[in-house]
Amino acid sequence: MHNKKHMSAVFMAVRLSLKNVGAVRFAPLVLFDVLYPILLCSMRFNGTEPEMIEVYLLQMSQVIFPFFSAWDVIFVLREYNESEGNEVLFVNKRVSAGTICAVIFCAMLLNISIMMAASCLLIPDFVFEFMRIIPACVFFFGMCGFIISISKSAAISILGGVLYLIANYIFCINKEVPMFYMSFGLVSSELVLQSCLPLLVLGIALAVAGNIISKKRTVYN
């Protein structure tokens, strides 16, 4: 009974948090569930060459999935770090920001996994990209959450994510670089060991650290 009440409180907190975020919460849904499927269908029925399909899918998946997996989390955390005493803080005081963000992020990962699975219908080897994209998403989740917890600014958190994306593109044009997940081909075992797994661990560590900092700074009025 207690667990049922707690789960109900968690989902109510998630719903209220997303509602408070406003229209920006729909950005990932539009990209993941509208534009990306349209791209898949257009390539499937327009007879696009498999090589070009692979290039397009790699470019899109490495940019939009990791970055926008943390999008809603950033704006939810903004309410906990940039505001004090508002409706979200008051109603959600029995549910931690970390719990709310974890639920939202897991929902994003499920959505991304479905789109990745759909991509495998066009490029079967794309299934290996799960080993790249999921760790990258976890890293963005942890990094952006940590940045906003110490800076108390959603803008700075978004900027941090954008700069990391740009750095990935710059450093990975010609070769795979440790701690940068991007490449211009399908993920390799070396990239998984040198970058993806370390990013996964680092992302979890940053998420935990950011949650601790955010808890200490949150004030309920």
pLDDT digits (tens, 9 = 90+) for 173-197: 677 788 899 988 888 888 899 999 9
Over residues 34-43, the mean pLDDT reads 88
CB-CB contact of 141 with 210 (8 Å): no
Q: Where are the domains of the chain?
A: 2-217
User: Predicted confidence band at 50 (pLDDT cuts at 50, 70, 90)?
Assistant: confident
Per-residue pLDDT reduced to its tens digit, 118-139: 999 888 888 999 999 999 999 9
What Rg value do the Cα atoms of the chain yield, rounded?
18
Residue type, 35: L
> How far is it, in rounded angstroms, from Cα 155 to Cα 97?
19
- Can you read off the two tokens belonging to residue 59? 């470019």
Q: What are phi and psi of 211, to 5 degrees?
A: -65, -40
Inter-helix orientation angle 36-45/97-119, to 10°: 0
Q: 166 burial class (0-12, 13-18, 19+ CB within 10 angstroms)?
A: exposed
pTM: 0.88
Q: DSSP per residue over 65-127, as a string? A: HHHHHTHHHHHHHHHHHT-SS-HHHHHTTTS-HHHHHHHHHHHHHHHHHHHHHHHTTT-GGGG
> How far is it, in rounded angstroms, from Cα 60 to Cα 74?
21
Per-residue H/E/C for 139-163: HHHHHHHHHHHHHCCHHHHHHHHHH
- Can you read off the two tokens belonging to residue 28? 């990932």
Other beta carbons within 10 angstroms of residue 85's beta carbon come to 10
Q: What are phi and psi of 183, to 5 degrees?
A: -160, 165
Per-residue pLDDT reduced to its tens digit, 60-116: 899 999 999 999 999 888 877 765 545 555 455 566 778 888 999 999 999 999 999
